Amino acid sequence: MHNLCPVEFYLRHLLARQSHDTSLRLTDIEQPTLILVGDGDRNMTSEINHRMSSEILAKGIPNSKLVVLPNERHSYFFSNPDEAHRIIREFIKD
């Protein structure tokens, strides 16, 4: 939060992501993939939210693992860093 980008850059990002769709390329990902999302990450900023996007990623990426963090929203690295880091370390060990 100490190094925020200018508002103009953030708005450009929002506009660009609205029409960006690479979902047909998900099957090209060959590495084991961890997908983390909070179960409450459901704010609608476009047609889909992060929770929905995570489901799409998990279904489309071969050899992926979806972990839904209970009682968490978008900022689980700040609100529950120990659990997030534990899950990542466990995934890397496997």
Could you tell me the CA-to-CA distances from 50 to 6, 15, 46, 75 in Å, in that order? 23, 17, 10, 12
Residue 43 falls within a domain, yes or no?
Answer: yes
Range of the domain at 43: 22-93
Q: How many of the other CB atoms lie within 10 Å of CB of 39?
A: 13
Residue 15 falls within a domain, yes or no?
Answer: no
Residue 7 falls within a domain, yes or no?
Answer: no
Residue 89 falls within a domain, yes or no?
Answer: yes
Residue 83 falls within a domain, yes or no?
Answer: yes
Residue 26 falls within a domain, yes or no?
Answer: yes
pLDDT digit string, tens, across residues 15-45? 887 778 888 999 999 999 999 998 877 765 6
Residue 17 falls within a domain, yes or no?
Answer: no
Q: Which residues contact 45 (CB under 8 A, 6 or more apart)?
A: 14
Residue 36 falls within a domain, yes or no?
Answer: yes
DSSP 8-state class, residue 2: T
Give pTM, 2 decimals: 0.75
**How many separate domains does the chain show?**
1
Amino acid symbol at 44: M
pLDDT the model gives residue 61: 97
Of the pLDDT bands very low, low, confident and very high (cuts 50, 70, 90), residue 85 is: very high
